[in-house]
Each structure stands twice: as C-alpha cells, then as structure tokens.
Amino acid sequence: MSHDIIGKAFTYTKDGFLGEWKRWILLLILVFIQAITFYLVPVFNGYLLRVAGSNDSAPDVNQWVKLFIDGWKVLIVELIYMLPVIILAVVFGFLALVPELMVIASGGTPNVQILLGMVLSLAIIFLVSIIITLFLFMGIIRLGQTGKLGEAFNFGAINKAISSGVGWLGYIGYCILLWIIIVIYGIVIGLLNVIPIVGLILALIITPLVAVFSTSCIRNIYTAGNQ
C-alpha cells in the first residue's frame, strides 16, 4: 500500500476543521438537523457528498438547499444498492424462518437442517452485504466526483478506479484498517463515558469529523486510480 490514503485523509480533516471553528460549528449544526428530523433533512449526508467530490481542502458549509438535495441523492443511492440485500433477507427469511416457526407452533422440535439453512442464509446475506457495501462506498464517491446520480452505478468505472489504483485487495485492506480505527475511536469514547457527560460531549463534537475522515479515505482510494 504505497498510497498515503490514511495520512492524506487525516491532514484533510485536520486542516479543514482545526482552527476553522465556524466550519466545525456549522458541521455540528448539520448533524443536529439531520438527527432531529430522522434523516428527512439529510444535510449532513449532503456535506459528506461534497467531501466526496472535493480535492485537497474541506469544502465550506453553505448552499443549504443543495446540501438537502445532495443528501437525498445519497439516501436514494444507498437504498437502491441495498435492495438486493433486503430482497435476499425477505426471501431467505420466508424460506427458512416460516417452516421453523410452523414446526415450533405445532409442538415439534426444531429441525437441525432448517437451522443450518438459516445460518447459511445469514452467511450469504452477510457476504452479499460486504460486496455491495464496497461498491456503495465507491458509488457515492463517484456521485460526488461527477455530480451525476447514474454514475453511482457505473460499475465498470468503479472497478477500473479500484483496479488501477490500490487494487481490490488494497481497497479491502484499507477498509479493514479504517474499520479498526473507528472501533478504537469507539472504545476510547466508551471509556471516556465513565466520566459523566465528557464522553458524550466529545462524541458529539468529534464523531462528525470521523465521518469526514472516513469519506476522505474512500475518496483518496478512488482518486488513486484516476491520477
């Protein structure tokens, strides 16, 4: 992994918000609005899409109507990408869970084969979810880079960007590394929750920056294949 994906994302986030208190406060306002409206006003998602389409510096928090529209674009893309997972879950749930419930309701003992089928179904759904999520991340970045909703589903271009950049193994490796970083962050925040209010306040203040950092990481992976 010769590309400084993580380092560039850290610098991007640090330079974009440390010392830029107005931008940071506005970012927190975006998160607050999106949270209290239960994602009906997804302006924070819209800002993350703006991050996905940016270059070397964090964008300003402005053009709120555009943030709202872009936020809904992100939600639409996420929903479409996750449709196969939802369909699989419904189908497998019906085929595996319903017969098991019927056996239990009739006073019989659970069928081991049905239980194994349920486990296999969950494994398949999990694997499909991982694959789709990998494309989803890049699809959102491509949407941010091009501004075209349809380009979020340009699988050929997404595959080319990954293959000609860090490669699929590199991409998966960076995603695992990013996941580890987020888990460590979560553990630290959890430990700080021992101190009343402190952990909660830090989580509310820093978590949006973690989201920006994560988006910047994925963007760097995408752009590594387009340089």
Contacts of 139 (CB under 8 A, 6+ apart): 77, 81, 152, 153, 158
Q: Average pLDDT of each block of 10 consecutive residues along the chain (227 residues)?
A: 82 95 96 97 98 94 97 98 94 75 68 77 94 98 96 97 95 97 94 85 94 97 84
Angle, helix 64-92 to helix 112-146, in steps of 10 degrees: 160
- pLDDT at residue 109, as a whole number: 66
- Alpha-carbon distance of 171 to 159, in angstroms, equals 11
Predicted TM-score (pTM) of the model is: 0.91
- Alpha-carbon distance of 148 to 49, in angstroms, equals 12
